Homo-oligomer: A and B are copies of this chain.
């Protein structure tokens, strides 16, 4: 039977199967590393423009300045991976500390007058709780009322910023208790505590996404929520938790920010959300969900911060600062796109 079949074949099969399916295991890994060449190029430029670039002081400075943005990006990355977005993180970083301090600071005696309802040591837990509650409120809007997440969190952003202005009367809060400032300004083992904390949280997050079932579930939820649901993943519940975690991380970023800069700035986080998205997306996280790693997001943060650092060291004229900043971002994007060899969309 087969013989006749062979005969009828117009052309005989000449060669055995070629290298038909050599595993290209690591394309996903490559994508995560696509900013590494960019960082390298920035490093070389930094080294050329100023000898100060490679000093320990400068590099630690860059990393420390990245911590608060980094934590926001961490939260946003988790949210984006699970297919949602939260713009309000930019306000949470400010309003959570303000609310916490408002509850704990004494009602009289300083420029900013709180309610003095709770002991001072509760400030940090309160702040984190406020952050988580904001995330949960976003979750309520998106998951229960099923309204559009972009607008809901944009409304939240405005509302929370307004709440902060209302409570603080637009002032920075300077009389921050020492306990609240500690984490943002302490040094541990020769580097700022904030750096260790931020790296630690990234590591925990990265490990959870790679090795925990609930972490891995985020990719499924972001990639195809219906398939995730059909596979028995509690999509809504996990999304809700992720949104709360995002708020919590933003609140924690607020604690570090407050310690780092010595006060709750009135404009704390103002306009950061673009940076947050930029860092996440340039680091390989998809706005459509289900794709990206925290390592990539971290390289995104460092890239953005290095650009600022190198430009400052290079003495770019202030008037053209922004222009060059934008150009570098576009060039970095193109480099990373060709380094990863993948089309983006």
Please give the residue numbers on chain A whose beta carbons come within 8 Å of chain B beta carbons, in ascending order. Answer: 141, 145-152, 154-163, 165-166, 169-170, 271, 274, 277-278, 281-282, 287-288, 319-327, 329-330, 333-334, 337, 343-345
Contacts and interface: CB of A to CB of B under 8 A. Distances in A.
Nearest to A282: B151
Contacts of A287: 150
A158 to B, nearest CB: 3
B160 A326 contact: yes
A148 to B, nearest CB: 4
A interface secondary structure, majority: helix
A342 to B, nearest CB: 9
Contact of A166 (B151, B156, B274, B320): B320
B163 A323 contact: yes
A155 B330 contact: yes
A165 B321 CA distance: 9
A155 B344 contact: no
Contacts of A146: 337, 343-345
A145 B331 CA distance: 11
Contacts of A323: 158-159, 161-163, 165-166
A162 B277 CA distance: 20
A322 B148 contact: no
Given A162-B320, A163-B323, A322-B165, A329 B148 contact: no
Contact of A147 (B145, B155, B337): B337
Contact of A326 (B145, B156, B325): B156
A159 B274 CA distance: 14
B334 A165 contact: no
A145 B335 CA distance: 10
A277 B151 CA distance: 8
Nearest to A284: B148
